[in-house]
Structure 1
């Protein structure tokens, strides 16, 4: 499937609407929230339907990856659904990216955008929503 004609507007709206969404496994996490949300915005495809509402912890999510798609990690899921990864130097806006920990995100405005939260040194929540990682710290990308 190709990108939707209005994918840029849809991706920007997705980023804007979820800027402060708190991390919640099974709702707003790397695969179901960010990567699948970006795919829906860019291509109109929902790869997350089989997962939605079926897990509430990261451990349960990983078990579902094995059960549903036969893969062990979100990175494995991206490769299964989107094909072979490419170096992050080739990432374009709307592509799915992976960080050093194996989390999935979306490439937008020259950076990888990931579900996360920032905490202060005493553990208090400072912000929730997206965290960004520079391109040179990303590990892979998949063209969407």
Structure 2
């Protein structure tokens, strides 16, 4: 599935990254899937697919249950269903394309040499939030 990016999408991408810097991770409110799919909606002008799961869980276990109810056995299955055919190689991803990392990131967005996404914290006192990982840490990519 290919979408057309709206004029000024680069500005919206930059704004989303900036806004996410100060927001802590929250399951069902500000997590990897909501961040990535809201960003896709905002830069491509599509409909709000994250409405399918936004606010319907508040834990990792709850996220898995909602994902299974929606018919997905993994984040990769959700990506295939919602984003269509993936790029043949992550190396073909461009700024603004969605990625799926093989680290703790989950879904994110390509920024060039790195991908940005939202991840849970690493323990007490770490609220999690925006993280950057090298694109080499991403397993799959989809064109936006």
TM-score, length-normalised on structure 2? 0.86
How many pairs align?
139
Moved >3 Å (runs of 4+)? 123-128
Q: Residue 65 of structure 2 corresponds to which residue in structure 1?
A: 63
| Residue 116 in structure 1 maps to residue 119 in structure 2 | yes
Which ranges in structure 1 are unaligned for 5 or more consecutive residues? none
Deviation string 1:55-83 (CA, Å, 9 cap, x unpaired) is 11121112111212x11122211111111
| Residue 84 in structure 1 maps to residue 82 in structure 2 | no
Change (3 A) 1:126 1:109: farther
RMSD: 1.9
Structure 2 distance, partners of 1:25, 1:126, is: 14
Deviation string 1:63-122 (CA, Å, 9 cap, x unpaired) is 111212x11122211111111222210111111111114711111142111212565xxx
Q: Residue 22 of structure 1 corresponds to which residue in structure 2?
A: 24
TM-score, length-normalised on structure 1? 0.86
1:33-72 matches, cutoff 5 A: 34-45=35-46, 46-68=48-70, 70-72=71-73
